[in-house]
Structure 1
Amino acid sequence: MRCVRCGTELMEGDRFCPECGAKQEADQTVKDSIPTACPSCGAPITPEMRFCQQCGSPLREAAKSASSANNGSVVTESVDSVTTESMAAESWGVDSADDGKKSPTATYPAQPMPDSPELSSAMDEWSESADADAGGKRNRNIVIAVIAALVVVALVAVGIVMLVGHHGQSVETTATTTVSNPSKTEKRAKSNAKTEEKQSKDCAATPDASLSGVSASGSVLIATVDFSARACGDTAWKGKNVKISVKDSDNEVIASAVYDFTNDPVRFENGEATRKLAYTTGQYWRASDQIRTSTTTMVVQGNSPTTGFAAGDVNGAKGGAKIAESDVERYAQQALSWQLDHDRSAVSALYDTPTTQLSSKKYDMEVDGKTWKYNDIYAQYLELRAKWPRTVLAWASDYDYYTRNGYASDYYVILSGETFGSKEEGRAWCSENGFGSNDCMAIALD
């Protein structure tokens, strides 16, 4: 056996050449059995060749024939090596059939490989020669496949990034919207908190007032009052002993009372506020349905004197205390005069028609231990009218019915305004409504 590189004679079992140091095949007889010339044309060949480069004949059969000359174990190893190489080539799509025909792609059963280092080395070299022909094409296919895979991966990655970015932006937008747009309840709560904080401060200015509405609750006048004070802004007004009066178009006071807002302040928003005020009898001097709000004016005066205690609230309207008694009498007397003129036509309509008389009083008259004043007379008129809206006021001296017999007629008469077919019906009405014989009587003006 000789060195595969320099040709130096080797001893049996040498693995490396003692001359050049080249690694030797474990069993040179394996390689020596491989033909070195084409059996068809005689052209030189190498172990790596599968086909003769001169005539194109397949060299597999030559290798098989040469291997048959050796012992059985070596032949078996060579055949197995070629078979393995052929199977590898077929798995990569390499032509391996004779006469230029493509080898069938049948699956070969696995062959047990003998555990021989020499045979393994020969098979490695033979497999490398089989792979060499398809290597270039296979490498190109692999490169193309890898590039395509990388492109796909890159596109998928870009898509994921865009999707995540869009989702993140949506979440961020939603979060921002949620933060910058709180619910209506939160807005209202914050607004109320700010308003309460501002309104905890006192406003020293005295506001203006105007009458925007009137109504009645029994014999109580309910006035809806609009307050205005630019200086108050969003603060609270805690005026004490404030007299609030209502005047008609003739500048006559028709309602007046004193209110204390110390513990129940008027709360302004942008200098505006609205409150309801209650005026009891003795605090107002005109029936609610006879007040024209558009022709009224209001006066607000602080630090005003009061008489007695404040009346209680009525249906949410703040009650007040009476003003000075002298002013009450003056306003009541003016109210009686205005009422006589206002009701004159209604009284005339009762001529020759039975009606009922509910009261006849004059100033300083004593009845049942009570001395009647102007305010008492007008208060009685308002209370009766609250029950019977047709009630009218008349001055007895203006009608023959009261003067014809020469009796004193300088008193105020209150008539129910109800009409009947006879005086008997009128007397029955008095009884039905709980009046005594001295408090209600049937009359017929003529």
Structure 2
Amino acid sequence: MHGNDGACGKAIVPSTLGTCVRTLDTCQGFLSLREDFRKARAFFASVDGHERGVAMFCEHCGSKFEDGGKFCTSCGAPRPVAQPPADMTTPIPVPNTAQPSFDTAAPPAAEPHITADIPPVYVPQDFVVQDPPQSAEVARKKPVWLFVTLAVLALALCAFVGWRMWSDSHAESQAVAEFSKETVEVDEKTDGGDSSDKALSATEKDKDTKKEEPQPCTAVPELITKQVRRDGSNLVATVQWNASSCENAPLKSDGVQIVLTDSSNDTIAAGIFDFSKRDVSYKDGKLTTELAFKPTQYWRAVTELEPSRLDTSVKFDQEGFGRAADVNGAFGARDIDPSDAERYAHLALNWQLDHDKSTASDFYSIYTTQLSSKRYDMDVEGKIWKYADIYEHFLSLKSKHPQALIVWGSDYPTYTKHGHDASYYVILSGESFASETDATNWCGANGYTANDCLAVDLK
């Protein structure tokens, strides 16, 4: 009798019938125990594989299934879904590990008989029941779930700390607001609730904290023209302002009309000035300014003005026309109403004709040069000439030639002797020449052409 397991794997030497029977019973017990261990191993493997829904070891031969394999590579049995064996509910018998003795030298005294009791079974020393191996997938799952749980707990802790900080801050803000409200209510009750005694607004407080700026003086001053001079074709007047009530107040006014008149009450100069853009202030009620008038804003030659005989007046909040242009530090003026300027120019032309008549009589016997000849509404040189244009032209020429004068053409034979209409304002240079040739040469020397300058006498 031969076998592959334990004692049954050795050749049995016949001895006595009792010895053989005991040996046979021992082999049968070992085989039964091995079957029980195989079932236990399959059960534990099924418990481990139950989490993944498959068996890990073959229930027929006990071999481990390969990952993903559907059949046992040892016996070919199909791989079932892991279920706990039904017969494992009964306890597994614990074998007797005592090793039997096989004595062939001396037979027993009496013939043994076969009994139903299971004799002790031989168990190999290297046969050890081990815990079923844990799957790699389950081993990986445990750390992942551990990290996820820790992360969730950390987030929850941060959220709780943030909520507590916000809650504390909000509670503190509400407490401050309640305290401020109560303070205001107490203050209102203390002063009797009178709205006129309430605290100043933020804007009013800012105004109080700032240095209060001095208010402009609105008193009407007395103006005195101290000096007049010519700056190119412009008239510059030095005017003193006297207003004791203004003390050291600034002059911050726009639309200030200043008018200069002569002893006959004829308007000599007029313009609208703006004093709001410069730092101009009274000092002990006195102020001095330089005022510039361009040729369209004054109607008398500067050389013919006497400051002591001029009267200077001022009006506030007046409307100006055109643009102002300062002249070498002097305040420039805007134009007055054009209709008033035209009227003042006509009066100035008439005054100038009367004033220059005596001087013009000198040119009956000697030559001078004619620079211009214009009449009202004359369309020449690109425009229709008005009184203001004619007088402005006269003042411009006089600024170049201080001896210039203006005459009425119809009053002198040289313009009427050929029967032509001589109703013109004629401007003469006022320069004296012994001959016509000398006068003509003067025209060329001063840059005039034959159309602009010619030699004349008035006889």
- Residue 345 of structure 1: aligned partner: 358
Which of the residues 393, 400, 404 maps onto 2:406? 393
Which of the residues 383, 399, 417 maps onto 1:370? 383
Do structure 1's residue 303 and structure 2's residue 317 form an aligned pair? yes
Question: Which residue identity is paired with 1:325?
Answer: P
Do structure 1's residue 201 and structure 2's residue 215 form an aligned pair? yes
For the Cα contact (< 8 Å) 1:199–1:235, is it kept in 2? no
Question: Which residue identity is paired with 1:236?
Answer: P
User: Over residues 242-301 of structure 1, what are the superposed CA-to-partner deviations in whole Å (9 max), with x where a residue is unaligned?
Assistant: 110100001111100000111125310111100000000100011111111111111101
Matches within 5 A, 1:201-280: 201-280=215-294
Question: Which residue identity is paired with 2:396?
Answer: E
**SS of residue in 1 equivalent to 2:415:** helix
- For residues 420 and 198 of structure 1, the distance between their equivalents in structure 2, rounded to whole angstroms, comes to 68
Over the residues paired in the alignment, what is the CA RMSD in angstroms?
1.5
Do structure 1's residue 332 and structure 2's residue 345 form an aligned pair? yes
Q: What TM-score do you get using the length of structure 1 for normalisation? A: 0.54
**SS of residue in 1 equivalent to 2:451:** coil
**SS of residue in 2 equivalent to 1:350:** helix
For the Cα contact (< 8 Å) 1:239–1:265, is it kept in 2? no
Do structure 1's residue 405 and structure 2's residue 418 form an aligned pair? yes
- For residues 354 and 204 of structure 1, the distance between their equivalents in structure 2, rounded to whole angstroms, comes to 57
User: Over residues 140-187 of structure 1, what are the superposed CA-to-partner deviations in whole Å (9 max), with x where a residue is unaligned?
Assistant: xxxxxxxxxxxxxxxxxxxxxxxxxxxxxxxxxxxxxxxxxxxxxxxx
Deviation, structure 1 residue 349: 1.3
Q: 1:206 to 1:350 in 2, by over 3 A?
A: same
Do structure 1's residue 320 and structure 2's residue 333 form an aligned pair? yes
**SS of residue in 1 equivalent to 2:363:** coil
User: Over residues 122-142 of structure 1, what are the superposed CA-to-partner deviations in whole Å (9 max), with x where a residue is unaligned?
Assistant: xxxxxxxxxxxxxxxxxxxxx
For the Cα contact (< 8 Å) 1:236–1:268, is it kept in 2? yes
For the Cα contact (< 8 Å) 1:397–1:410, is it kept in 2? yes
Deviation, structure 1 residue 211: 0.6
Question: Which residue identity is paired with 1:348?
Answer: S
**Considering only CA atoms, is the larger Rg found in Structure 1 or Structure 2?**
2
**SS of residue in 1 equivalent to 2:369:** strand
- For residues 198 and 209 of structure 1, the distance between their equivalents in structure 2, rounded to whole angstroms, comes to 29
Q: What TM-score do you get using the length of structure 2 for normalisation? A: 0.53
- For residues 252 and 199 of structure 1, the distance between their equivalents in structure 2, rounded to whole angstroms, comes to 41
- For residues 251 and 308 of structure 1, the distance between their equivalents in structure 2, rounded to whole angstroms, comes to 26
For the Cα contact (< 8 Å) 1:243–1:304, is it kept in 2? yes
For the Cα contact (< 8 Å) 1:199–1:234, is it kept in 2? no
- Residue 104 of structure 1: aligned partner: none
**SS of residue in 2 equivalent to 1:319:** coil
For the Cα contact (< 8 Å) 1:333–1:375, is it kept in 2? yes
- For residues 247 and 211 of structure 1, the distance between their equivalents in structure 2, rounded to whole angstroms, comes to 10
Off by >6 Å, runs of 4+ in structure 1: none
Question: Which residue identity is paired with 1:247?
Answer: T
Aligned length: 249
- For residues 257 and 279 of structure 2, the distance between their equivalents in structure 1, rounded to whole angstroms, comes to 15
Question: Which residue identity is paired with 2:258?
Answer: I
- For residues 348 and 322 of structure 1, the distance between their equivalents in structure 2, rounded to whole angstroms, comes to 36
Query: Which structure 1 residue ranges, 5 or more long, are not aligned?
Result: 1-196
Question: Which residue identity is paired with 2:315?
Answer: Q
User: Over residues 385-439 of structure 1, what are the superposed CA-to-partner deviations in whole Å (9 max), with x where a residue is unaligned?
Assistant: 1111110110111111111211111110000011112111111111111112111
- Residue 97 of structure 2: aligned partner: none
- For residues 267 and 396 of structure 1, the distance between their equivalents in structure 2, rounded to whole angstroms, comes to 51
For the Cα contact (< 8 Å) 1:356–1:418, is it kept in 2? yes
For the Cα contact (< 8 Å) 1:199–1:268, is it kept in 2? no
Q: 1:265 to 1:199 in 2, by over 3 A?
A: farther
- For residues 444 and 304 of structure 1, the distance between their equivalents in structure 2, rounded to whole angstroms, comes to 47
Matches within 5 A, 1:110-259: 200-259=214-273
- For residues 366 and 403 of structure 2, the distance between their equivalents in structure 1, rounded to whole angstroms, comes to 14
- Residue 127 of structure 1: aligned partner: none
Deviation, structure 1 residue 232: 0.8
Question: Which residue identity is paired with 2:255?
Answer: N
Q: 1:234 to 1:402 in 2, by over 3 A?
A: same
Question: Which residue identity is paired with 1:241?
Answer: G
- For residues 246 and 344 of structure 1, the distance between their equivalents in structure 2, rounded to whole angstroms, comes to 25
- For residues 382 and 418 of structure 2, the distance between their equivalents in structure 1, rounded to whole angstroms, comes to 28
User: Over residues 29-56 of structure 1, what are the superposed CA-to-partner deviations in whole Å (9 max), with x where a residue is unaligned?
Assistant: xxxxxxxxxxxxxxxxxxxxxxxxxxxx
- Residue 428 of structure 2: aligned partner: 415
Deviation, structure 1 residue 199: 8.2
**SS of residue in 2 equivalent to 1:237:** coil
Do structure 1's residue 281 and structure 2's residue 295 form an aligned pair? yes
Q: 1:322 to 1:348 in 2, by over 3 A?
A: same
Do structure 1's residue 428 and structure 2's residue 441 form an aligned pair? yes
- For residues 226 and 251 of structure 1, the distance between their equivalents in structure 2, rounded to whole angstroms, comes to 20
Question: Which residue identity is paired with 2:354?
Answer: D
**SS of residue in 1 equivalent to 2:257:** strand
- Residue 392 of structure 2: aligned partner: 379
**SS of residue in 1 equivalent to 2:229:** strand
- For residues 386 and 368 of structure 1, the distance between their equivalents in structure 2, rounded to whole angstroms, comes to 21
Query: Which structure 2 residue ranges, 5 or more long, are not aligned?
Result: 1-210
- For residues 363 and 240 of structure 2, the distance between their equivalents in structure 1, rounded to whole angstroms, comes to 41
